[in-house]
């Protein structure tokens, strides 16, 4: 067979696993394209936001990953479009021709067109996002110590998370621990009762993807930790100094974190469906462009029951592997295999010793779930060094109740001076 | 005695040690002011620049340090001036009154008025500086893989350090190891002989503060590592695409790192001498403003022999402690003590197993010096967690020959397109 060129776009779970499969065929030429030079382990991103982990510990340099795959090259760059006729991917103005293309670009935060969300709220998808949240929390606490305006102070130390899915819940738990164990000790001049971590969710319970019993357990633990739950509340607008709810309530805050929805990062040129995702055949390729495979959060394939597969890491890993295998099968003249989802269960961590885990026939909470969560995350984290560093950090935090990475890289300034204070006017 | 207010400006070695002394007197009110919320362990900064250590590992949150000092508060902010008449320090527009002021603001990079240095060269004083260098090295390597212009490629992978003092030498050694052990493996498409680490020094040898024999040892080891030494070469101008030397030579580079000099960070209102430093009495206070003490790199006090004390960490620590003790002595009606410098020796590390250390009667090199260097730096690094993390990182790098923190936070773009290439015109 003539040398074929497979381009893999996106170094997330799907892309990296695809590359690993493609390495089995040394005669293939593989190019991995990403706009960053690192793989990001998104499941632990919230711990970077809450000062628990250092940013490099949940990342892995792509070139280090590729060292052992001699048939693969890395290309740093943002992809701008696909030409389905010419079979080329446009990367920063330059066309990259391919025989096969596997796309795993995932999703980005979606504002659903709500006013103010994209301007004033903080996303939680990228490493930059997480570091911006950390800087914001630290900057806000420093500013709160200095201000003499009580309303401004309260708004500064009110941290609001919109969205009660796993990301929102894990971040809420983690900021709740930061508040209780770190802010309380670092800022003796702040009144802890004024420091608020608020979780806003439209539904009448959090963790929709979990059983009601699990959600109730999580809600109780978060409340116990001091997190305020505002359930059945819909955001209508985000302003520079707070969040307006449909109920008429206004939450003064300078840190509205938006975890309430995502939209597919489909490239121009690709046919899209609901949520800007890309529909595929069960073999994960596009019907009208069979050389292009979509794996991970971007893929919209309905499983048995007519619902799309969940946008979680196990789906991305399984689809990345299958997409690559189907490329190889086609090259070897064998039939492609359809996607079969192996449900790995659902997990969410709430805080020290507390988590929820659901498997097909088993539902666990508390310390067993938390231990399982730790083990699974360490296992999937790439790199011996990262595992060692993250485990050391966790052990340190566990025994000292400290979130050690409280380094403010960029200090934030805050809008509104005390003289004219719209906060007290309720927005 | 009535409650007195001591303000300590700068959370470097001098400031932190001053605060620790002042904590012995619980009736004092102490305020520590810094523009960052962390202490930076500058001796290891170059390892952040060369991707060996993570930024938070060489920093320590100031508020965590102050937890045990109940008489001390932290104020985040940049100081803008001192009013010697009213005894107030101006911090971001607000006057902070003091009875005593201990200043340890240190130095910043000085360009000596040379053209282009402040615009185009990279400093090595702050955490930001180090992270910018790391991002630049990684961005340049990625760009070099993509460019088809050989001259542009060579300039991209030429890293030039100006200044053969300890900072320049340690950075050169560390980038030399990055080149040999990491770039060689991460970028199989680059020709390693084109990747250059160049150290430019005006004098005819490096490490002026060390014995000639030590300098020779260091020069030999750096050359062995593949670092090019350009001795007796004076920089006359830094351009966006290279460095012009007095000899007429031009080094094409997009990463000129400037470690060739510093100038004191004296606040407006303070009387300054040579190098923008502040002269003090042997008691470390200013003759005309006896309530103000200067400690560390900013202090200009001549020792026996008429030379000012060296601008190194041990001087800062000793002066920070003495300044605080003299404040306490004065408050208790006791005589102030003059500064007596205890020479702790000089150390510089060159690479794995190689360092130079000089003590009053002893000069060591190689593995013993390198071990001593490791031990001393771990000892002075603040925080159990940082020591644990740094040691883990070092152990990892030592056994794997890997510099693991190759995360590009901000990708740099580079001037000059291939179409019009001034590089080949020699600037």
> Is B67 close to A185, i.e. CB distance below 8 A?
yes
Domain identity same for B243 and B375:
yes
Confirm whether B218 is domain-assigned. Answer: yes
Confirm whether A355 is domain-assigned. Answer: yes
**B162-177 tens-digit pLDDT:** 999 999 999 999 999 9
Q: B185 is written with which tokens?
A: 């493996």
Confirm whether B391 is domain-assigned. Answer: yes
The tally of CA atoms less than 13 A away on the side-chain side of residue B390 is 26
Chain A: residue whose CA lies nearest to B140: A76
Confirm whether B45 is domain-assigned. Answer: no
| CATH code of A400's domain | 3.50.50.100
> Is A54 close to B59, i.e. CB distance below 8 A?
no
Q: Is the ipTM of this complex over 0.90?
A: yes
The helix (run of H) or strand (run of E) holding residue B259 is none
Chain A: residue whose CA lies nearest to B406: A61
Q: Strand pairing of B38-40 and B346-351?
A: unpaired
Instruction: Read off the pLDDT band of A420 (50, 70, 90).
Output: very low
Confidence at residue B280, expressed as pLDDT on a 0 to 100 scale: 98
Cβ neighbour number for residue B191 with a 10 Å cutoff: 12
- Chain A closest-CA separation from residue B407 CA (Å): 6
Provide the residue range defining the domain that includes A270.
Answer: 5-35+77-109+262-331
C-beta separation of A192 from A234 below 8 A: no
Chain A: residue whose CA lies nearest to B145: A75
Does residue B421 have a pLDDT over 50? no
Predicted TM-score (pTM) of this structure = 0.94
**B127-141 tens-digit pLDDT:** 999 999 999 999 999
Domain identity same for B235 and B373:
yes
Does residue A425 have a pLDDT over 70? no
**A118-159 tens-digit pLDDT:** 999 999 999 999 999 999 999 999 999 999 999 999 999 999
> Is B128 close to A409, i.e. CB distance below 8 A?
yes
Confidence at residue A1, expressed as pLDDT on a 0 to 100 scale: 52
Three-class secondary structure assignment of A209-241:
CCCHHHHHHHHHHHHHHCEEEEECCCEEEEECC
Q: B40 is written with which tokens?
A: 């930076």
CA dihedral A320, A323, A324, A326 (to 10 degrees): 150
Confirm whether A277 is domain-assigned. Answer: yes
Query: Cα–Cα distance between A289 and B80 in angstroms, integer?
Result: 63
Q: B164 is written with which tokens?
A: 């053969």
Domain identity same for B400 and B253:
yes
Interface test with A, best of B45, B128, B404 (most A CBs within 10 A): B404
Query: Cα–Cα distance between B186 and B179 in angstroms, integer?
Result: 10
A388 chain-B contacts, CB cut-off 8 A:
392, 396
Angle between helices B166-177 and B212-225 (to 10 degrees): 20
Does residue A278 have a pLDDT over 80? yes
Domain identity same for A186 and A123:
yes
Domain boundary among the residues A331, A358, A375 is at A331
Domain identity same for A251 and A273:
no
Q: What angle do CA A10, A15, A16 make, to 5 degrees?
A: 120
Give the closest of A142, A404, A407 to B55, CB-based: A407
**B308-339 tens-digit pLDDT:** 999 999 999 999 999 999 999 999 999 999 99
**B54-104 tens-digit pLDDT:** 999 999 999 999 999 999 999 999 999 999 999 999 999 999 999 999 999
Confidence at residue B2, expressed as pLDDT on a 0 to 100 scale: 66
Confidence at residue B404, expressed as pLDDT on a 0 to 100 scale: 83
B411 chain-A contacts, CB cut-off 8 A:
37, 76
Does residue B382 have a pLDDT over 90? no
Domain identity same for B232 and B152:
yes
Interface test with A, best of B40, B61, B75, B417 (most A CBs within 10 A): B61
Mean pLDDT across A329-348 = 96
Query: Cα–Cα distance between B303 and B326 in angstroms, integer?
Result: 18
- Chain B closest-CA separation from residue A146 CA (Å): 8
Confidence at residue B361, expressed as pLDDT on a 0 to 100 scale: 87
Domain identity same for B248 and B396:
yes
Can B287 be counted among the known catalytic residues?
no
Domain boundary among the residues A277, A301, A331 is at A331
Find tokens 């990259």 and name the residue: A96
Confidence at residue A424, expressed as pLDDT on a 0 to 100 scale: 40
Question: In total, how many domains does chain B have?
Answer: 2
Lowest mean pLDDT among B71-85, B136-150, B409-423: B409-423
Confirm whether B72 is domain-assigned. Answer: no
Query: Cα–Cα distance between B109 and B235 in angstroms, integer?
Result: 16
Domain identity same for B184 and B244:
yes
Confidence at residue B54, expressed as pLDDT on a 0 to 100 scale: 92
Which stretches does DSSP call E strand in A165-220? 196-201
Domain identity same for A129 and A203:
yes
Confirm whether A225 is domain-assigned. Answer: yes
Confidence at residue A234, expressed as pLDDT on a 0 to 100 scale: 97
Q: Percentage of chain A surpassing pLDDT 70? A: 97
Chain A: residue whose CA lies nearest to B189: A73
**A245-271 tens-digit pLDDT:** 999 999 999 999 999 989 999 999 999
Domain identity same for B256 and B267:
no
Confirm whether B58 is domain-assigned. Answer: no
Tell me the helix, strand and coil percentages in chain B, rounded to 5: 35, 25, 40
DSSP B223: H
Domain identity same for B216 and B99:
no
Query: Cα–Cα distance between B180 and B188 in angstroms, integer?
Result: 12
Confidence at residue B422, expressed as pLDDT on a 0 to 100 scale: 43
> Is A404 close to B385, i.e. CB distance below 8 A?
yes
**The dihedral sign for the CA sequence A19, A23, A28, A29:** positive
Domain identity same for A88 and A195:
no
B40 chain-A contacts, CB cut-off 8 A:
none
Confidence at residue A422, expressed as pLDDT on a 0 to 100 scale: 43
| CATH code of A315's domain | 3.50.50.60
Domain boundary among the residues A304, A331, A358 is at A331
């Amino acid at each position: 067979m003539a040398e074929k060129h497979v381009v893999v776009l996106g170094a997330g779970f799907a892309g990296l696993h695809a590359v690993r499969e493609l390495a089995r065929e040394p005669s293939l030429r593989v190019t991995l394209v990403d706009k960053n030079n690192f793989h990001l382990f998104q499941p632990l991103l919230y711990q970077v936001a809450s000062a628990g982990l250092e940013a490099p510990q949940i990342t892995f340099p792509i070139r280090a990953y590729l060292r052992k795959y001699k048939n693969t090259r890395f290309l740093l760059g943002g992809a701008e479009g696909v030409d389905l006729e010419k079979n080329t991917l446009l990367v920063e103005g330059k066309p990259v021709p391919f025989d096969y293309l596997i796309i795993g670009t995932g999703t980005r935060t979606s504002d659903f067109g709500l006013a103010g969300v994209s301007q004033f709220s903080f996303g939680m998808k990228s490493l930059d996002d997480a570091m911006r949240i950390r800087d914001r929390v630290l900057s806000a606490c420093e500013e709160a110590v200095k201000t003499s305006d009580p309303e401004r102070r309260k708004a500064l130390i009110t941290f609001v998370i919109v969205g009660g899915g796993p990301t929102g819940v894990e971040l809420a738990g983690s900021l709740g621990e930061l508040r209780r164990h770190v802010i309380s000790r670092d800022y003796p001049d702040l009144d802890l009762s004024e420091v608020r971590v608020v979780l806003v969710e439209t539904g009448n319970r959090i963790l929709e993807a979990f059983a009601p019993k699990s959600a109730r357990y999580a809600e109780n633990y978060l409340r116990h930790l001091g997190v305020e739950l505002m359930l059945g509340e819909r955001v209508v607008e985000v302003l520079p100094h707070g969040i307006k709810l449909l109920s008429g309530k206004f939450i003064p805050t300078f840190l509205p974190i938006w975890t309430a929805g995502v939209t597919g990062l489909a490239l121009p040129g690709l046919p899209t469906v609901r949520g800007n995702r890309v529909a595929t055949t069960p073999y994960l390729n596009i019907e009208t462009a069979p050389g292009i495979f979509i794996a991970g959060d971007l893929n919209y394939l309905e499983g048995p029951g007519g619902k799309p597969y969940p946008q979680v890491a196990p789906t991305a890993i399984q689809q990345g592997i299958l997409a690559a295998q189907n490329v190889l099968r086609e090259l070897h003249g064998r039939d492609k295999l359809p996607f079969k989802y192996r449900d790995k269960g659902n997990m969410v961590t709430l805080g020290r010793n507390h988590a929820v885990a659901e498997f097909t026939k088993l539902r666990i909470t508390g310390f067993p779930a938390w231990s399982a969560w730790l083990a699974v995350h360490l296992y999937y984290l790439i790199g011996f060094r990262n595992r060692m560093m993250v485990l050391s950090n966790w052990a340190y935090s566990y025994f000292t109740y400290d979130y050690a990475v409280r380094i403010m890289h960029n200090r934030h300034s805050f809008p509104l001076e005390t003289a004219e204070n719209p906060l007290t006017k309720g927005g």
